[in-house]
Structure 1
Amino acid sequence: MERTRFARSGPGCRAVVRAPSDALGLIDGPERGFLRLVALYFLCSFAVLTLLGGDGPARLWSVLLSLPEIALQVFEGAAVFLVGLAVPLAFLRNGAGRSRAGGAVFVALAGTLFHLTFLTIKTSLPDIVPFFADPALSRFDSWLHGGIAPWELTHGLLAGVPAWIFERLYIDVWIVVIFCFPVVVTLADGDARRRARFFALYVFVWVGIGNVLALAGMSVGPVYHDRLTGLDVFGGLDTALAASGIAATYTGALQDTLWSLYVDGQNSAASGISAFPSVHVAMTTLVALYIFERVPRAWPLSLLLVLGYLVMSVHLGWHYAVDGYASILLVGAVWGVLRRVSRSRETLFSA
């Protein structure tokens, strides 16, 4: 948001002078709010990990010190996607996005710190609340689908689809998008209120769904259910993952690695496990709602995105279907509330 102040330049005359920070065009209102919450999230996370003990605070501090190096790696990995910024920039009419280019850099750096802090906290969630919800979630999932486990439905419908397609979409594409989409929004959207809603929901998905609500339903997901409980409920899923070739891909190796790290008590970077609710589906829902809000006629694309990632989260064994359903309902409800609120008052993100 642009602020001005008035300075008297002569008798009866006033000249409009831009505030120094806005003259630089670095950080607009919604982006300032995002940076404030990222800093607050980091400080609160540091306090929580300090109370828990262990090496959590040291790991989080090392994240902060290594931020420039890690950010460079992230930018390099996202190079292909960033080239595609020419597409959203084509929607600009008055160059407003170009004036926010500096702010986009700060958003990228803050987003990197935000995600690394989230991953550090995620590895510590079982230290706060042990896993307990898997038996109830698996039973409810089966009951909700007429006594059939959702993974059985997906592996029946998608038999023959190459495993690498799911892996590329669910891991590679998704990771690039969640890192880069806030930058795209900063550059390509001239509506400050809409950007404010996006960043508010972005924080809600990671912190509200990925941290707070995850504690309320601590679970490991179908692929780990039997390893955690000692029961034989998802033996068929293991067989299906092997038969489809998924177990032999990076996804299968990652699932085994994460479980080994959990069993060994090693809280390395990005080693956390939590299924309910699904952050993958929640973030996809956020992106889909944003696309729908910008281009209402693109609702089929938005719907396809949400359904696609919901199905993949089940098909790959990461999530119960109810994990995704909960995420869709939560993000949709908060989005609706924020739309009403943003019409009536200013928020932290629009200040």
Structure 2
Amino acid sequence: MAFVISATRADQYMVRFLTLGHTYAKNTLILTMAFIVANYVIARIIYMIKRTDDSDPLAWDKDYFRNYPIRTLIIGISGYVLTMTNFTLYKAGVIGRDGYLHDELFANLDRAIWGTDAWIRTHTWFPSVEATAFFDYLYHPAFLPMLGGYLVCATSRSLPAIRLTYMTSFIVCFLIIGMLMANAMSSAGPVYDGRLFGDGQRFKALVDRLDTLEQDIPRFHAAIFQDYLIANKISQSAGFGSGITAMPSMHVVMAFLWTLAGWHIHRILGVILTVYAVLIWLISVHLGWHYFVDGLVAIAMTSLIWYCLGRALGLYRPKQSAPQRSQQDHTALP
């Protein structure tokens, strides 16, 4: 009997995996082809601008595609599809299955840090409808390109150490932070107070304020996605992006991965992306998705994973001491 039940569950999981995986694979392949073309066009334009000789320009094209890392691309894209599919199924089917047990703890930690609930601070700093509407757009529709960062790295050919560190960190972050840690520290987030945890009183003021702001925002994506996630939770569906979990914040993880990569490319880019990541962090609190400590844990763990993988993949080369450099310089002399 137990074997029959296990086999049935395995069959159900496989059906879900194939259905959801097909959706992810189809969308990923379309985006991958678009990024391949975009990378080629950009590289071609740069080549034509910098070209100083009269060599055959078609020779550059032949060399570009002859040395294209097809195997690396296939492995990278396959890893992305498998990771995102399993992450969604795990998030929707495992996390919160026994209830969301840590919301009160994280809410109390926020109060210990800020002296009050963190969302009160953000709504004090940004009280206008226009600010919330902008935050809503930045956190939802405008954030989707951040998911494409992995595909940019997979289809590009420059900065191999940064690209490989980003891609491996992305996958490891989803496995460790988004799945294992999220399940161990299961929490739903303030906006689900009274629906998935608690009695609905602790964050009633936040929910009421968001409901009021929604009346003046033509398309409030936060409310739309919150209802979508709840509907999937009730029906036990595993649709695109389904599953509810707050700690740690994967939005902050993805934004901060861009930040870490940005600092290795250029200092100005690093500063811009740092501001962006902090803003995403605050917005996640402002819209009731997350506690402040969700982002804190996300940044700490993402930094640790990035550094460890970066060291292993050659992104952080050991600095040479002055005597070593001097000895090498003398050795290099004829």
**Out of 213, 237, 241, which is 1:270 matched to?**
241
Alignment partners' CA distance in 2, 1:145 and 1:235: 19
Alpha-carbon distance in 1 for matches of 2:192, 2:36 = 33
2:289 aligned partner, one-letter code = W
Q: Which residue of 2 aligns with 1:123?
A: 92
Distance 1:52 1:141 in 2: 39
8 Å CA contact retained: 1:103, 1:186: no
Task: Determine if the alignment matches structure 1 residue 217 to structure 2 residue 173.
Answer: no
Match of 2:293 among 299, 314, 322: 322
Give the secondary structure class of the aligned counterpart of 2:99.
Answer: coil
- Displacement of 1:344 in angstroms is 9.8
CA distance in 2, matches of 1:170, 1:52: 35
Tell me, yes or no, if the aligned pair for 1:60 and 1:120 is still in contact at 8 Å.
yes
Query: Which residue of 2 is the match for residue 173 of structure 1?
Result: 142
3-state SS of 2:188 partner: coil
1:62 to 19, 22, 34: 19
CA–CA distance in structure 2, aligned partners of residues 101 and 120 of structure 1? 31
Distance verdict in 2 for CA 1:344–1:123, change over 3 Å: closer
Residue 164 of structure 1: how far off its partner (Å): 3.6
The TM-score normalised by the length of structure 1 is 0.71
Percent of aligned positions with the same letter in both sequences?
20
| Cα displacement (A) at 1:209 | 0.6
Name the counterpart of 1:145.
114
Measured against aligned partners, the alpha-carbon deviations of 1:207-249 in whole angstroms (never above 9, x if no partner) come to: 1110010011000001012322114100110122123336961
Following the alignment from structure 2 to structure 1, what is the Cα–Cα distance between the partners of residues 170 and 46?
22
Report how far residue 334 of structure 1 moved. Answer: 2.1
Q: For residues 80 and 184 of structure 1, what CA distance do their matches in structure 2 show?
A: 6
What code does the residue aligned with 1:289 have?
L
SS, match of residue 313 in structure 2: helix
Q: Does 1:75 align with 2:46?
A: no
Distance 1:340 1:112 in 2: 26
Contact 2:39 2:155 in 1 (8 A): no
Aligned equivalents of 1:276, 1:90: Cα separation in 2: 44
- Are 2:189 and 2:291, in contact at CA under 8 Å, matched by a contact in 1? yes
- Per the normalisation by structure 2, the TM-score is 0.75
Equivalent pairs counted in the alignment come to: 294
Pair 1:224–1:88, CA change in 2 (3 A): farther
8 Å contact kept, 1:221–1:274: yes
CA RMSD between the two structures: 3.6
Given that 2:190 and 2:291 are in contact with CA atoms closer than 8 Å, whether structure 1 keeps it comes out as: yes
Contact preservation (8 Å) 1:134, 1:219 = yes
Deviation readout 1:246-305 (Å, 9 max, x if unpaired): 696122022123223323444444320000000000111011100111113433212112
User: Which amino acid letter does the alignment assign opposite residue 210 of structure 1?
Assistant: G
The match for 1:243 is 212
Counterpart-to-counterpart distance in 2, 1:278 and 1:215: 12
How much has 1:53 moved relative to structure 2? 5.7
Match of 1:253 among 198, 214, 224: 224
Distance in 2 of aligned mates of 1:232 and 1:214: 24
- Cα distance, 1:134 vs structure 2: 0.7
Instruction: Give the Cα separation in 2 of the matches to 1:307 and 1:164.
Output: 18
Asked whether the equivalents of residues 36 and 155 of structure 2 are also in contact (C-alpha less than 8 Å), the reply is no
Distance 1:263 1:301, change over 3 A: same
The alpha-carbon distance between structure 1 residues 145 and 104, as it changes in their structure 2 partners (threshold 3 A), is same
SS of corresponding position for 1:55: helix
* Distance of 2:162 and 2:125 partners within structure 1: 38
Structure 1 CA distance, aligned partners of 2:286 and 2:36?
A: 26
Separation (CA, whole Å) in 2 of partners of 1:138 and 1:202: 28
Q: Is the 8 A contact 1:50 1:57 kept in 2?
A: no
SS of alignment partner, residue 126 of structure 1? coil
- Whether 2:288 is the aligned partner of 1:331: answer no
Tell me the equivalent position of 1:304. Answer: 275
Query: Post-superposition shift, 1:119?
Result: 1.1
After superposition, the Cα gap between the structure-2 partners of 1:127 and 1:217, relative to the gap in structure 1 and judged at 3 Å, is: closer
For 2:141 and 2:44, locate their aligned partners in 1 and report how far apart those are by CA, in whole Å: 23
Please say which of residues 273-282 and 203-212 is displaced more in the overlay: 203-212
- Does the Cα contact within 8 Å between 1:89 and 1:187 map onto a contact in 2? no
Verify: 1:283 aligned to 2:254, yes or no. Answer: yes
Comparing 207-216 and 125-134, the one that deviates more: 125-134
Q: Which runs of 5+ in 2 are unaligned?
A: 1-5, 51-59, 317-334
C-alpha contact 2:96 2:186 (8 A) present in aligned 1: no
> 1-side partners of 2:37 and 2:204: how far apart?
42
- C-alpha separation in 2, matches of 1:250 and 1:101: 39
Tell me the distance in 2 between the aligned counterparts of 1:194 and 1:137: 34
Q: Which whole-Å CA distance do the structure 2 matches of 1:249 and 1:163 have between them?
A: 9
Which letter maps to 2:176? Answer: G
Residue equivalent to 1:292: 263
- Report the alpha carbon displacement of residue 167 of structure 1 after superposing the two structures with TM: 2.7
